[in-house]
Structure 1
């Protein structure tokens, strides 16, 4: 991958934001949304954004698949391509529920995977224009400037976590485990917001329950290339074609180890989200 590819992906994402997303957004003004499942909204902006991105990305790498969130909803067989060859993975509007409510955060996520392993990740915040980019072995940037994650000098670490668990008992156990040693914040259901927050030191870690590829592939490589760590609770690497739940994203390996040990010692299992992060 080269800088020309980075620019092409960025241009496609900015076009999607400019043409499909921002014309439909007014702060404080909700818009109509359909519901694919409980708590999973979809709007005209999602659909138009994915159409733009699919068209633009399809021509960048010969033979590469494109797997988008909305297309996969209508044709689940597309999920089988997440681990096959070269694959673009598209979340055309992450944080749709926030967007539909006239609120932030929301964003666009694009990842590139080879045989199921993320090798490139791009994250755009349409509200601010902030653009995050990472390629395997090449580091991570925000708006073109190198970014380096690291633990902050806080007495109590800031941890973000979704409150949406299928099992109330597990949810209560998680919050009870964290509240004694961490400052726990509610994750706003937008992975496109959470990964940059960690890299910029605003959060020390975020815990994710459901980890489908379009929500996480871009963020995982971005954070790992920035010097943080995103991995399964057992320490294994994230794969785009692995449907298991549970992911710890942290500002540095040491912080990751601290959080993982805390959860393991308490017997807390992250998998089991009723609704997407």
Structure 2
């Protein structure tokens, strides 16, 4: 089942890239870019891609509910399906701010969840054609090759810490008490790129504050199945039906995760949540 599912989902993601995303890349008119919220954009490529993906996924597994990022923005009730017995989760263009600015990285993310737990995930880069995938209990893959996460090997682990959605006191505490122990690098503002960077040894750890299901479900599974570790800072598992809770750590190994989680636990209670 997983091989057939991989083939069908991969073909659908490539179709969405070719028909709905890349034709608009670096060609967006001003009226084709809208602001959903502060620092959160949506483009015609997002809406066209989600429509194409939702239709295709419904054909692949008609019994599964569908939760798309843009559908959820239009109607928050859509998110109640995240705890259904089967549920597709779609990020039609992850890294929309980058895409709207006409620059990489951006990608497509699809996950399949069962009663709130991710059981399969796919992350596709339309520009390079790289496809990361994972199935629960079956390992992780990049472009059809079995994949094992690796650390950077740098003397100070490389950290990408997303500060965009972190309130001021917590941001200051992270920069004062956590950052000095790491070599900081810029975040790509694209989960479809950040999770592969962790596994591929470009980054060792990453801290995410906002953990929406369409951004993180596939990446968390991919990292865990590849031998890394992604979880809540207290070590509890990420569940898609609790995705509005803040805080998530991704790491290239369990040891790197534990070290960062221990440092974060030492922050004062007022800034560690």
TM-score calculated relative to the size of structure 1:
0.94
Please list, as runs of the form range in 1=range in 2, the aligned pairs for 1:115-154 lying within 5 A after superposition.
115-154=115-154
Q: 1:253 aligns to what?
A: 254
CA deviations on 1:65-87 (whole Å, 9 max, x unpaired) are 01000011111101000011100
Question: How far apart are the structure 1 equivalents of 2:206 and 2:178?
Answer: 12
How does 1:86-235 map onto structure 2 within 5 Å? 86-235=86-235
**TM-aligned CA distance change 1:166 to 1:157, over 3 Å:** closer
Please, what is the CA RMSD of the aligned residues? 1.4
Change (3 A) 1:85 1:19: same
Report how far residue 266 of structure 1 moved. 2.5
Q: Which residue of 2 aligns with 1:262?
A: 263
Deviates more, 1:115-124 or 1:171-180: 171-180
1:30 offset after TM fit, Å? 6.4
Partner Cα distance (1:73, 1:162) in 2: 22
In the alignment, what sits opposite 1:275?
Answer: none
Per-residue deviation, 1:137: 1.1
Alignment of 1:6-155 (within 5 A): 6-26=6-26, 31-32=29-30, 33-155=33-155
Partners of 2:131 and 2:239 in 1: CA distance? 23
* Aligned-residue offset at 1:152: 3.1
Q: Distance in 1 between matches of 2:199 and 2:69?
A: 25
Question: Number of residue pairs matched?
Answer: 269
- Deviating more after overlay: 248-257 vs 186-195: 186-195
Provide the C-alpha distance between the structure 2 equivalents of 1:207 and 1:171, rounded to a whole number of angstroms: 11
Q: In 2, Cα distance between the equivalents of 1:255 and 1:239?
A: 21
Q: Evaluate the alpha carbon distance shift between residue 265 and residue 31 of structure 1 in structure 2; reply closer, same or farther with a 3 A threshold.
A: farther
Match of 2:3 in 1: 3
Distance 1:146 1:96 in 2: 29
CA contact (8 A) 1:209 1:270 kept: no
- 1:103 and 1:31, CA in 2 relative to 1: closer, same or farther beyond 3 A? farther
Aligned residues of 1:210 and 1:245 also touching (Cα < 8 A): yes
Superposed displacement of residue 2, structure 1: 2.0
8 Å contact 2:110–2:123 — kept in the other structure? yes
Structure 1 residue 270: Cα displacement: 6.3
Q: Give the Cα separation in 2 of the matches to 1:267 and 1:184.
A: 22
> What is the CA-CA distance between 1:127 and the residue it aligns to?
1.3
TM-score (structure 2 length as normaliser): 0.95
Relative to structure 1, is the Cα distance of residues 163 and 186 closer, same or farther in structure 2, using a 3 angstrom cutoff?
farther
Decide whether the 8 Å contact of 1:232 with 1:246 is kept in 2: yes
- Runs (4+) off by over 4 Å: 268-271
Cα distance in structure 2, aligned partners of 1:197 and 1:118: 21
**SS in structure 2 at match of 1:188:** coil
- 1:246, 1:270 within 8 Å by CA — same for their partners in 2? no
Deviations 1:164-208 (A, max 9, x none): 145212111111122321011221211000001111111001110
Q: Distance in 1 between matches of 2:78 and 2:92?
A: 16
Q: Unaligned stretches of 5+ in structure 1?
A: 272-277
Q: What is the SS of the residue equivalent to 1:193?
A: helix
CA contact (8 A) 2:265 2:272 kept: no
